[in-house]
Structure 1
Amino acid sequence: MTLAEHIVQYFKRHSISCSVRDDIEWTLKRWVELNSLTERHINHETIKIIHSKIKVVPTGKQRRYRQAVEDICLYLRDVCQWTVYEPLSEKLIDHDLIWADKLSQHAHSANVLFQCYQKQKSIFLKLSQPPSIEFLTVTLAICLAPFSFEYIADLLNHPERIECSNNQLSVKIYHRVSKSNTSQHPPFTRYKLDLFSYKLLSTYFATQKNQQNETENSLNKKIINWLNQQHFELSTICTRDLPFLFQSIWLYQYQVPHTLLKDIATPERHVDFDIKRREVTNVHKLKPGTVDALFKISLDFSWAKGGTNSSKLKQQDWSHQTLIKQLLKTSRAELIRQLQEQAEPEWQTDNVLPKLFYQYTSELIEFGGITKPRLAQSTIKKYTSISRLLEQSPLSYSDAIHESKLQAWADHNYLKLDDEHKLLMHFFLRFISQQSLTDHLQLDHLQAPTQPMTVDSYRMAPESINNIIQILLNSKSGSHVQRLFSAVAVIISYFGMLRRGEILRLRVRDIVSLQLDQCRLFQLEITKTPEGQPKSSRPRTVFIALPENYAKLIRLVLHFKHGSCQERPLLGFDNEKLSVRNIYYLLPVTRAIKLICGSDARFHHLRHAGAHLMMLQMMRMCYSASKP
């Protein structure tokens, strides 16, 4: 779908009047400056350019094109999180106010519909017959969520969307996103499924196995006919009124506030995650040697020795090409067995790309792609062909572990490619963003600003955090201080919601004990240092309260640092560079995270988990305060 089609579909899904697609396409075609923007912001100059092009239109179509500009800006602001300069933002139609007004207008009809539904529900329970598609759809709109019938039709066509986890029934509602969005996993939202709706769905799927797929239009027609049969007051309801009708039921019957109602009715406003690999709950079941390898630093310094032929070295470096050739000569099963038994190449300090491409090729051979579990040799060769374009753009080990330098390398090499190679580069960057060495790479910069922003919703459970700390402390490969610093990095990042760079730049003076003896309360100052500044460029103060077993580790570090210079790093030794601290203290943390939580987990997810913990604590505090 084109951007114009997405805009029209968005307005249609929310029953909002919108310019016709031709007008939006005409405007987008001439608003070329919009595609060249690298930031999600529309200023006065950008609007002035498109208005000057509209002024040359000799007819009253100018009004339609100006309205199309406003519709485009509204879509970019509400869906793609753009900021629109203040004067234009104030002129945009307040659709939230219009939406609230329409809910009020449909209050009486919604009450009539709810009474009719309760009557039909009683009849259904007495007769014990298979549910009709109309009754099932109305039940889902009233009991599951009052969203567009587009989502209900998708659910009715995919019985596998129903899940049961921890004795809780739920359904997965996938978001309506562009297929050009190269996110690894399609975003979705989970909705709690009540037992009555589950019974209706399971009966429907059991009795309608050969039923033709439902669509939004087919459901709209069936529900309109069903309403006409129920009550004469509902005969005036049209297709555009249906979302307001069911949302009004949630507003007045269930007393759901407007903001929360909009969240429930719009799956794209929140996102859930899937755990592809089961988290390790018992660290004693881990394979022997995996925990002891957490602190192992494997580097190849052969490049620095004199007398080496550079062309021969480069030929030896790209060992993933040998794997691709072996795939033609050896059976896939035999090659996979060899890959599992043989050791991977060592990291080279001057260029980590050869090993990354080796790992990338190895996983493509063993696990295939996202949609196909088995990839042909030609496909794997195509996916890894991007290595030829990166031979003149090496990525050193020190740059790979440095957040800003890695991001700059990725942005530079991605933007200079054509569209076909950009897609291949995006696949490769998506892979390295999941590796322990480079998991701090952010792919948001590489996404078109006219696409909705993707959200990485994964978070770790508290049990996983404890297991990560446990295996870091019990590893035999690192020194005592190294293991202590790594464990403390996990604790501070989780409870303080700190980013990787903020952990590394934390100084001795930036942490203060708020109690004299057996302190469990600490104050953290996140501010600018000679090594860098926070992402938002704004200093902040963070207060953390820790369990005693975690607080004891923090106190041990503070005791270890007692008497040292207050400007020295909290986690590290004197004159130890930031890149070195990253290798020795945070890289083992990333490895431990992936060992416990799976390959999709990253260091940044500690911050996600901490934010979720804070939300639960705040809700608990509010709930306790409301009790008499």
Structure 2
Amino acid sequence: MCENKINTLAAQIADVLWCKSGISANVDNLSWVLQRFRIEEKQARQIDKAELREIIKVISTVPTGKQRHYRYALDHILSYLKEECLWDLPEEAEKRLVDRDNQWISQIACEAGNAGKIFTRYEAEKCQIYAQLGSVPLELVILVIAFEVAPLTLRHIAQILSNADSIVNRDDQPRLRVYHVLHNEGEEKRYTHYYLSLFCYRVLHDFYASHVKAISEDQILSVLNHWSAKRKLPEGMSFNWQYRFQILWFTHYRIPALLLKDLSYPERHVGFSTEHTVKSTTHLFDVDWDLNWYENPIVKNKKLKWLHTPLIKSLLASTHTIVEPPWNAENILPKMLYLYTADLLVYGGVKKSSLATSTIEKYTNLIKWLEPFPLSYADATNEEALLQWASTLYRSVEGESSQLMVYYFLKFMSVQELTETLDLATFTAPTTVPSVNAFRIELPAFDAVINALIKAPSLNPLRNLFAVLAALLGNFGMLRRGEVTRLRNRDFSFDSNSGLLTIRVTHTAEGKTKSGHSRVVHTTIPTCYRNFFKAALVIKARCDGDSPFIGFEGEAFYSRQLYYLLPVTRALKAILGRLVTFHHLRHSGAHLLMIQALRGVSQTPKGYRIGTHPLEQELMSNEAINCRFKYWLEGRPFSRVNHGVLLDEVCGQIGHAHYATTRFSYLHDIEWLLPIVSPAHCGYTPTAYSHQELRYLLGLSPASNDLSRVLTSISPAYANKSTDAKRAEKVVLTEDCLRSVVFKTKALKQPPFNGDHYQRWQTSILQCQSNFINYLFRQMLAAKRIDFISLSQVWCQGAKHPGKAVEKACITALKTLPPVELSSDEKSLVMQLACNVKNAQAFSKVFRHKEWQWLTCSFELATNRKLRSDRQEMILRTQFCREKEKITVKRHAFGQTQLTICLYPKFETSESVMRFAYQFLIQIQSNKELS
């Protein structure tokens, strides 16, 4: 790294730490250490013991007076790498950072007395706000944010007060959007949403209505110090004021230290916005690839067209004549670049929703870099091969601006259904904040995804089942895409009564875990989804423990990803937006686990659980939470366990070594925290309000007489009071009750929920395509004896995916043949027919179809020895028989020439398979409807 970049990084580290603590090492000292630490050369976000000892050794060689300053700078660099860049540090460095956390607690504790005095004065003057509808003093607005929203820095408070769009609504519930502080020009603009009480909403709403000028951090500091000086309260620097806010939240609201940091700094969590544009879901199981692309080598003999430039010209001319190209086995990049161009034309870029044509042409001018590095379809769906390709491409590009253009393209690829396994961490500098695609799927939306997977036509009901199971494991099991695909039958246990699912995530023959360590996940499955796991256990009861849980026996890894996980990704994108990926199921499961853990320790009253959806109510019940943490509680209530290690337990379930990874990459936004851990911010907490307060909160004028009418409509207790009591006594209400009046909150319109998911999947089995694999599965279900091993062998050596209905030509041909018979031992099918070309053609049409390739044939030609049989033998060998199939020719004294064909499986199987095959063929031959 050149000296300029080192100095820039040093200045950034100093700025970040000063913003958070008001303390930072000297920039020159930071630069000196960075020049010798050489962290910029590392690819992984990790420092080992040897590297740490080496830099400490280097520092020890300088004069004693400088050593203390350089060690101080080293601590700040390590803190920055750990907290901001999520690096893994050796134990020795971790201990140094723990000491810094203890120092932080000591520093904010020193302001406890000052914070108490200021808060007492704030509470006393707070009543002024109620009497001044539409006009709130600036100092009180600042203190409202600091004491009732979050203990933010003055820089963040200035940003909030300068941006009238900071209040955003979600489902009629206002939230406060706080943008992250940017420390260099190239940083991505991010934000975090905070919980906004009704009182805070009203204060900010009135403030924005009367103030239009931007406010700086220095102005806020000046206002606070002026307010304090007039009241003979202590003044302070910016960091002193935040220390006061923080210690107040620590002591008054009893927020634990780690969660207090989360509230204090928006940069610790990444927010997101939802996109609900539900599209058709009939395409979820469409197949736009060919398995031959994986099973046979690709012959590169065709030059592909790049249609992204004609697309731009077509749209500019409003002709719309360019048709989206299909996927190509040899190289998917021409189509991927076409899709990238279309995305830029429709949605714009990261900073602007509409881009100039010249900008789009600049972003998509990538052919010179892409052509030398084609990406086959098979490699695009292979996580390791895809990452290797992307790394090779990125390293081949020279110049930061050119690499940035390629990075934008790779970022687009990372959210496409085909290439969503691409990890962008490799392409971001380890000394910067990691990239994160923040999103969380709420339970009602997840249920819509499951419904779509059940309903979508797939040609094979087992595809629907395995896709549903993959989605459930990704969400409730918090599994990565590869972990779901690699999960074996032996890796989990399920209690259908309680819904407790225990999953062992470990190395298998198909791959290793991302962390290199195994973990055991404990989760609970909602009642409406449990039958899917029960069905899977019944289906796979006789299967080998090492075979994959998702998919057929012997099915290839790539096939399982394409046919079962890809439909889940498509469903997510169709229902929740184009940027949502399978990995967001894991994010959502991690969030659910965190909520359940905090609800457990906070002992939320049973009647006040989060959400109105049946899934939310069930999973937030005491029973579900205690069941999930049964392994940890060991029979004790949450009040009797060490809450200090709860977050470590949560991280262990997810597979993270540190909470920093979990909270930044998985726990998006922060508005969900306070209503759980702070009773003062819980919507269900009864509070006694004065009439003056209620008028202000309800948006009524201070002298309004309409208050009594409103209160009578929402509070039966108030309505039953006498007139004198109504005037004299405070009114006890909850925040939720007041919100329902102010925001006119109505029950959100949700799809009807009746929990019949499994029944609808069972119905789909009867409605699926009429082919043998589906017929065989139906008959096994009806007989209550599923031989999944034989079913898999029939599938594997037969048609595989997709199992289309029997072709009309095959049905016609089968009806022209003599009736199929079942051998006496029920191990083969037998057919006796004349040995002629017509029968040979009909036989080949039916039994040479790939659906019956799991059968092999033997032929016995019986001829009259008095007649010549040369022609029949020639027809048999050339029209009926194939290589290595057995032919026997027998001669008899009397009778006609007759050909007997025996069809038997290429593998050992149960007798029922051949019996069901016989029934299937006979029903077609006899014009009966397949049952």
TM norm. shorter chain > 0.5: yes
Could you tell me which of 389, 394, 399 is aligned with 2:369?
389
In the TM superposition, what whole-angstrom CA distance separates every residue of 1:427-457 from its partner, at most 9, and x where no partner exists? 0011111111111222122221111234443
Of the structure 1 ranges 429-438 and 62-71, higher mean CA displacement relative to structure 2 is found in 62-71
Q: Shift of the alpha carbon at 1:179?
A: 4.4
Q: Shift of the alpha carbon at 1:503?
A: 1.5
What's the counterpart of residue 340 of structure 2? Answer: 360
1:591 to 1:54, Cα distance in 2 relative to 1, 3 A = same
Q: Shift of the alpha carbon at 1:74?
A: 2.4
Letter in 1 for 2:192: T
Could you tell me which of 288, 294, 318 is aligned with 1:298?
288
1:126 to 1:470, Cα distance in 2 relative to 1, 3 A = closer
* Cα distance in 1, alignment partners of residues 347 and 261 from structure 2: 40
Aligned length: 599
Contact 2:15 2:183 in 1 (8 A): no
Contact 1:131 1:200 in 2 (8 A): yes
What's the counterpart of residue 21 of structure 2? Answer: 15
1:542 to 1:259, Cα distance in 2 relative to 1, 3 A = closer
Matched, 1:444 2:425: yes
* Cα distance in 2, alignment partners of residues 59 and 495 from structure 1: 55
Q: Shift of the alpha carbon at 1:50?
A: 5.0
In the TM superposition, what whole-angstrom CA distance separates every residue of 1:505-555 from its partner, at most 9, and x where no partner exists? 12233344446xx78444433222211122222233334433344222222
Matched, 1:228 2:229: yes
What's the counterpart of residue 701 of structure 2? Answer: none
In the TM superposition, what whole-angstrom CA distance separates every residue of 1:354-397 from its partner, at most 9, and x where no partner exists? 11111011122233223233333332222122232121212111
Structure number, greater radius of gyration: 2
What's the counterpart of residue 263 of structure 1? Answer: 262
Contact 1:181 1:451 in 2 (8 A): no
What's the counterpart of residue 214 of structure 1? Answer: 215
What's the counterpart of residue 489 of structure 1? Answer: 470
* Cα distance in 2, alignment partners of residues 73 and 160 from structure 1: 36
Contact 1:103 1:247 in 2 (8 A): yes
What's the counterpart of residue 203 of structure 2? Answer: 200
In the TM superposition, what whole-angstrom CA distance separates every residue of 1:167-201 from its partner, at most 9, and x where no partner exists? 32221111224445565xx3322112223332332
Give the 5 Å matches for 1:39-118: 39-47=44-52, 50=55, 60-61=65-66, 63-91=68-96, 94-118=99-123
Root-mean-square deviation (CA, aligned residues, Å) is: 3.1
Letter in 1 for 2:10: A
Letter in 2 for 1:225: H
Q: TM-score, normalised by structure 2?
A: 0.60
1:609 to 1:256, Cα distance in 2 relative to 1, 3 A = closer
Q: Identity of counterpart residues, as a percentage?
A: 33
Give the 5 Å matches for 1:178-577: 178-179=183-184, 183=188, 186-209=189-212, 211=213, 213-231=214-232, 233-235=233-235, 237-275=236-274, 277-278=275-276, 280=278, 286=279, 290-299=280-289, 310=301, 313-314=302-303, 316-326=304-314, 330-331=316-317, 334-335=318-319, 337-338=320-321, 342=323, 344-418=324-398, 419-514=400-495, 520-577=499-556
Give the 5 Å matches for 1:20-35: 20-28=26-34, 30-31=35-36, 33-35=38-40
Contact 1:38 1:449 in 2 (8 A): yes
Letter in 2 for 1:201: L
What's the counterpart of residue 164 of structure 1? Answer: 169
* Cα distance in 2, alignment partners of residues 253 and 575 from structure 1: 60
1:109 to 1:357, Cα distance in 2 relative to 1, 3 A = same
* Cα distance in 1, alignment partners of residues 134 and 587 from structure 2: 46
Q: Shift of the alpha carbon at 1:54?
A: 5.8
What's the counterpart of residue 283 of structure 1? Answer: none
1:68 to 1:530, Cα distance in 2 relative to 1, 3 A = same
Q: Shift of the alpha carbon at 1:57?
A: 6.5
> Counterpart of 2:520 in 1: which secondary structure?
strand
Q: Shift of the alpha carbon at 1:117?
A: 1.5
Q: Shift of the alpha carbon at 1:562?
A: 3.5
Contact 2:134 2:210 in 1 (8 A): no
In the TM superposition, what whole-angstrom CA distance separates every residue of 1:396-432 from its partner, at most 9, and x where no partner exists? 1111112222222222322332322221111001111
Contact 2:284 2:570 in 1 (8 A): yes
Q: Shift of the alpha carbon at 1:48?
A: 5.7
* Cα distance in 2, alignment partners of residues 47 and 307 from structure 1: 48
> Counterpart of 1:481 in 2: which secondary structure?
helix
Contact 1:414 1:425 in 2 (8 A): yes
Q: Shift of the alpha carbon at 1:626?
A: 6.9
Contact 1:440 1:603 in 2 (8 A): no
* Cα distance in 2, alignment partners of residues 107 and 620 from structure 1: 29
* Cα distance in 1, alignment partners of residues 110 and 558 from structure 2: 62
Matched, 1:607 2:605: no
Contact 2:22 2:238 in 1 (8 A): no
Letter in 1 for 2:395: L
> Counterpart of 2:126 in 1: which secondary structure?
helix
1:571 to 1:51, Cα distance in 2 relative to 1, 3 A = closer
Higher relative contact order (CA 8 A, sep 6+): 1
Q: Shift of the alpha carbon at 1:128?
A: 5.0
1:478 to 1:370, Cα distance in 2 relative to 1, 3 A = farther
Contact 2:314 2:321 in 1 (8 A): no
Letter in 2 for 1:487: V
> Counterpart of 1:583 in 2: which secondary structure?
helix
